[in-house]
Amino acid sequence: MVIGVSIDARPEDVVEFTRSVPIRYPSGMMNPQIEALLGYPDAVPTTLLVDRSGRMRRRFFGYVEPAIIEREVLKFLDASAP
């Protein structure tokens, strides 16, 4: 699952962004609970790959080519296959 977490100061910015950019995943604002779970991002964007058990498997800082993310996800899926 992909989830977008914004660190913008205003929720209105997130609403405006999600209306102007066709994204197909849930988005919300950073809050203390999310920060405690994932940590505060060191760069924007920060991409976290979290496995089904909720364990963070990989963290990327800055822009990452989609093919790299796909390769990493497939690697984790292959490792978890019976």
Please check whether residues 65 and 31 belong to one and the same domain: no
Please check whether residues 30 and 1 belong to one and the same domain: yes
- How far is Cα 10 from Cα 78, in angstroms, rounded to an integer? 39
Please check whether residues 1 and 36 belong to one and the same domain: yes
Total number of domains in the chain? 2
Share in percent of the chain as helix, strand, coil (round to 5): 40, 20, 40
> Quick one: tokens of 39?
């940590």
Please check whether residues 53 and 80 belong to one and the same domain: yes
Please check whether residues 51 and 74 belong to one and the same domain: yes
pTM: 0.66
- How far is Cα 48 from Cα 23, in angstroms, rounded to an integer? 17
Please check whether residues 58 and 82 belong to one and the same domain: yes
Q: What is the pLDDT of residues 19-46, one digit of tens each?
A: 898 888 888 888 888 888 878 887 888 8
Please check whether residues 32 and 50 belong to one and the same domain: no
- Which residues span the domain enclosing 14? 1-40
Q: How many Cβ atoms from other residues are within 10 Å of residue 29's Cβ?
A: 15
